[in-house]
Amino acid sequence: MPFAVGDFVREKGFITRLIGVINRPASYLEGALGFRAGRLKQGWMLLALKEAVAPEEFAFAGYSQSSGGETVARTPSGAELRTRIDAVARAESTDADARLGTGYGLLKRQVADSFALSGPERIVKVVPHMPHMSAMPPDEQYPPGAGLPQWVLLKPKLFVVAAVVGSGEQHAGGGGGDFPVSAFWVDPALAKTV
């Protein structure tokens, strides 16, 4: 996937906020986001969301310590029951909530409205250069992270490649004005971004 800074791409899947990934080494990001150790070693791309997300276009995934956006409960027999966090949130909403526009529906609208397209709270996606390994079990490939907020885009949305981070490098911010990432973190010339 050889993209350059400034390219536009359509992506879906896990997203988070810029403030949690800015100026962090790959090893920190792996632990924070829930990638197995070494997954970002070859480098990664930072994609910045460029269009609004409607409530029906994302699912709640809790925080990154909830691997795969799932929560685990034990049944009385001791068996593990894995459930999507979005399904738990939806189940806690009542029929009255649905009629009144409160509960799950209201929460989805509020969160969708909070998805910033600029500044430190903007929505971003970290894409490793190392591809997904289908032969590796999901729990090994995506262990629980350290607790960054995360959501799942259910439909491909438009992103701009804000940074291409090489092996051993970290994204230090950069850009400004109409560029994808705000400039107040560091000199853009040092950040290797638009």
Partners of 69 in the β-ladder: none
Q: If you search the block for the tokens 């107040």, which residue do you land on?
A: 184
pTM as predicted: 0.72
State the pLDDT at residue 41.
83
Q: How confident is the model at residue 180 (pLDDT cuts 50, 70, 90)?
A: very low
Q: What is the mean pLDDT of residues 1-11?
A: 86
State the pLDDT at residue 125.
92
> Is a pLDDT exceeding 90 seen at residue 174?
no
State the pLDDT at residue 11.
94
| Tokens at 126, concatenated | 């970290």
Q: What is the mean pLDDT of residues 81-110?
A: 69
> Is a pLDDT exceeding 60 seen at residue 39?
yes
The least confident of 31-35, 48-52, 109-113, 155-159 is 31-35
Residue type, 22: I
Render 63-93 in DSSP notation, one character per residue. Answer: ETTSGGGEEEEE-TTS-EEEEEHHHHHHHTS
